[in-house]
Structure 1
Amino acid sequence: MDQLIGLVEDDPNIRDIVEAYLKKEGYEVEAVDTAEKAWEIFEQEAPDLWVLDIMLPGMDGYEFCKRVRQTSEVPIIIISAKDDEVDKILGLELGGDDYLTKPFSPRELVARVKRHLKRWQVMQPEQDTDTIQAGDLQLSESERRAYFQGAEVDVTTKEFELLKILASQENRAFSREELLVRVWGDDYFGSDRAVDDLVKRIRKKMKELPIETVWGHGYRLRGPSS
């Protein structure tokens, strides 16, 4: 899956240019003009990196950065017209990983995005690839077994695959179309109602599993940060 970049910039010209350059490099981009909208994205999709302007209407970039750092160490690149040393220090002290002063080269920003994403991936702890743990749900890939609240639950192959996708990225909202392709394959020509039916069966087997419906979009597995 492509890496997701959160872009927070209230200047539409800068936002459009940066978004275009990032997409050209193959990144998915969620571009918004306020920190309040960015916070909604953070809670739903958890981008892999943020490009964050400081001077924003409403909540400013400093406050947004501070909020993100309460629960996440995801890379944050600050872009700002403020070039005073005190502003740079404040941005870095509040959790920014990099500080780029406007005007800047979009290519330089892309280079910094690549560098920070690479460093972030290296820093991630090595995970047990066989076991996926998400709250009270535990999945064993080698045995193809599912456990909920300590008890084994009989699941079908497709139920297991759907659970694995949702549990691997808690709080991320997956569209029905994406789930359909990843569970049934891209050569499946049936209705995306098949996803709804699969979720319904899982909910019946695991009544307290927090699979949430994202209306008009799809589903997510609620994690501790939401």
Structure 2
Amino acid sequence: MSQHIFIVEDDPNIRNIVSAYFKKEQFTLTMVDNAEEAWELSRSGQPDMWILDIMLPGMDGYELCKKIRQESDVPIIIISAKDEEVDKILGLELGSDDYLTKPFSPRELVARVKRLFKRVELYQSHKNEQKNQQFSSGGLIVELTNRRVFWHDEEIEVTAKEFELLKSLIQNQNRAFSREELLTLIWGEDYFGSDRAVDDLVKRLRKKIDGLPIETVWGYGYRFRNDDGDHQ
């Protein structure tokens, strides 16, 4: 499905030119010449982006921008004949993401729209990635982003090294790690101490979390055992 853009512009010549460029790029457009009608149309479904002229009959673009921002984080580009710095700052303070001064090149507007959509896509991707950085197994939940550990809904206080060990194992469930691998992952390649440090770390975690499914692989190392595949 193509991205849907609401363009609010009272100049028919600009609407026609901009429309031709955006349709060529396969965008879906709704063209409106006043803010009131645009606002009413948006009640039945927000577009993926707004492009707002400032000097409009009735409600101006600043006021519409403010109303949109009270309800949504949808990207907004303001276009205006006003080239004063204070006008650009006002537009940004009211929540617009970009500001383009008339006269402008339609190609530049299309390029800015594409760049803004890309920025939003990257932000959402990062946001979802952060949101999903949680691993669970049985009664254990490990929040990687917040570095918090819960066992049957009770938060468990762990040290930085304990957390790194748990993180390394739970991100690779059912895989056996040698003590040497875990030493490198947690302490770094420059660590020259005994691999018994790993044993001590596992021992401390098991003491804090009774029933923690970290198995000893005799003569080798450790694995986080998960037979039900309950992880995300």
TM-score range, shorter chain: 0.5 to 0.7
Corresponding residue for residue 96 of structure 2: 96
Corresponding residue for residue 163 of structure 2: none
Q: Does 1:45 align with 2:41?
A: no
Q: Distance in 1 between matches of 2:37 and 2:22?
A: 20
Q: Distance in 2 between matches of 1:47 and 1:102?
A: 23
Q: Distance in 1 between matches of 2:54 and 2:117?
A: 21
TM-score, length-normalised on structure 1?
0.55
* AA in 1 matched with 2:83: D
Corresponding residue for residue 20 of structure 1: 20
Deviations 1:128-150 (A, max 9, x none): 99xxxxxxxxxxxxxxxxxxxxx
Q: Distance in 2 between matches of 1:40 and 1:121?
A: 27
Corresponding residue for residue 176 of structure 2: none
Q: Does 1:126 align with 2:133?
A: no
Q: CA deviation at 1:96?
A: 0.8
Q: Does 1:72 align with 2:72?
A: yes
Q: Distance in 2 between matches of 1:19 and 1:96?
A: 21
Q: Distance in 2 between matches of 1:38 and 1:87?
A: 22
* AA in 2 matched with 1:121: E
Q: CA deviation at 1:8?
A: 0.3
Summarize the alignment of residues 101-116 of structure 1 with structure 2, pairs less than 5 Å apart. 101-116=101-116
Q: CA deviation at 1:64?
A: 0.2
Corresponding residue for residue 171 of structure 1: none
Q: CA deviation at 1:44?
A: 1.3
Q: Distance in 2 between matches of 1:123 and 1:44?
A: 26
Deviations 1:152-207 (A, max 9, x none): xxxxxxxxxxxxxxxxxxxxxxxxxxxxxxxxxxxxxxxxxxxxxxxxxxxxxxxx
Q: CA deviation at 1:45?
A: 2.2
Summarize the alignment of residues 68-217 of structure 1 with structure 2, pairs less than 5 Å apart. 68-124=68-124, 125-126=127-128
Q: Distance in 2 between matches of 1:45 and 1:118?
A: 22
Q: Distance in 2 between matches of 1:43 and 1:126?
A: 27
Deviations 1:84-107 (A, max 9, x none): 111111111101111100000000
Corresponding residue for residue 212 of structure 2: none
Deviates more, 1:49-58 or 1:115-124: 115-124
Deviations 1:39-97 (A, max 9, x none): 12222121111111000001000000000000111111100000011111111110111
Corresponding residue SS for 1:83: coil
Q: Does 1:35 align with 2:18?
A: no
CA RMSD of aligned residues (A): 1.6
Q: Distance in 1 between matches of 2:40 and 2:20?
A: 22
TM-score, length-normalised on structure 2?
0.54
Deviates more, 1:10-19 or 1:41-50: 41-50
* Structure 1 unpaired stretches of 5+: 130-226
Structure scoring higher RCO (CA < 8 A, sep ≥ 6) equals: 1
* Structure 2 unpaired stretches of 5+: 133-232
Q: Distance in 1 between matches of 2:42 and 2:30?
A: 10
- Which structure's CA Rg is the greater one? 2
Q: CA deviation at 1:117?
A: 0.7
